[in-house]
Chain A
Amino acid sequence: MSEKKRRFGRRKVCRFCADPTLVIDYKNPQMLKSFVTIRGKIIPRRITGTCARHQRELTTAIKRSRMVALMPFTSVD
């Protein structure tokens, strides 16, 4: 069955593995913004292609960022 499964598009690569200079930092909401939806929810890694390790770091960073009001917990706009 698995041979029948077809992949669409190209394989996603973890952005942070591809570019080691990118640092995950809760003080940089600008960068974290691309990993949350418009509503402010964290995007799952199956969508973004981030690897497990970096997704974990991202999650804590986003949550910290929310605590200091640099990122919204939720927003409608």
Chain B
Amino acid sequence: MKDIAIVAYQQSDSVSDAGAVNEVELIMPVLARTFEQAGLNSAQDVDFVCSGSCDYLQGAAFAFVSGVDALGAVPPIKESHVEMDAAWALYESMLKIRMGHADSALIYGFGKSSPGDLPTVLSQQLDPYYLAPLWVDSISLAALQARLMLDKGLITERDMAEVVSRSRRNAMNNPHAQLSGDISVEDVLAEETFLSPLRKADCSPISDGASAMIIATVDQAKAWGLPYVVISGIDHCIETHNLGMRDLTDSVSTRMAANHAGMNAGKVDVAELYAPFSHQELILTRALGLDKETQVNPSGGVLAGNLMMASGLSRIGEVFNRIVKGEAQRGIAHATSGPCLQHNLVTVLEKGENA
């Protein structure tokens, strides 16, 4: 089986409102920088392209097709799309390479959430008979989950505030962050509740932006002469759509995916976790059994900027960056989708030659 590696990763700034900039214009500069990083000219230089986005954000069926305009798809390219975070576009691209149909792939994800009311838009991904007609939004569902944890004594509001404080402080070193700053636990706790028990600071911001990545077989990466980081494992698992049937205080599917991806085969220096709400980082850290040896969300995580359909790919890209910079040898990245961490993907990354 061919080993697959990441050779390039770029993301846009995470902004609260990109204004008149459309999706294609959000993607194009990110793609240009990604090609430049890999020493390539265009999508013609990779064997496969896969994107992740959500038509509900644009409010039109097949809206994702316009994203292809950012690629210049003439002469024809081999292209696919997932109506999911681009971390799952990476998964599809890896299958394509594993099947021997490609040696390299470009993956990109984009989301412009600012034009709509994102928590309301996300209510429409729920059970169409029992939940979507109630328009129960994503923040309210996360608040139900947080209270279950608080009531059971699994976490305190202070634990949640510590996640927020650390994320905002870490984000001060992230040039793409939307929210960063030297905020103490007391500062967070002094804030009144927004959707009790959650404070606004417990919730990821609503963001516009894009990210992109190029992967290739290790042989291809070597031929290109690029530093690379090997994707040694990847898997995803999903839980039932019935929130009442799930243990919302744990993330069984994350743990399963991590085990399947081989997370425990070595030390984890860094972990980037897609936790849109502070208490969810605590759920994930515990579900994965991460201890003090692992640095969690050095980028600030998605509490510093949450690019719908791109932030899962960005978690993988952030770990790639740490390993290329020599700050870590091995790390994991987590991506999530659905309400209250329903669907989870875990990627294990390891230093390759030249990285």
- Chain B binds chain A: no
Interface, chain B (partner A; CB < 8 A): none
Interface, chain A (partner B; CB < 8 A): none
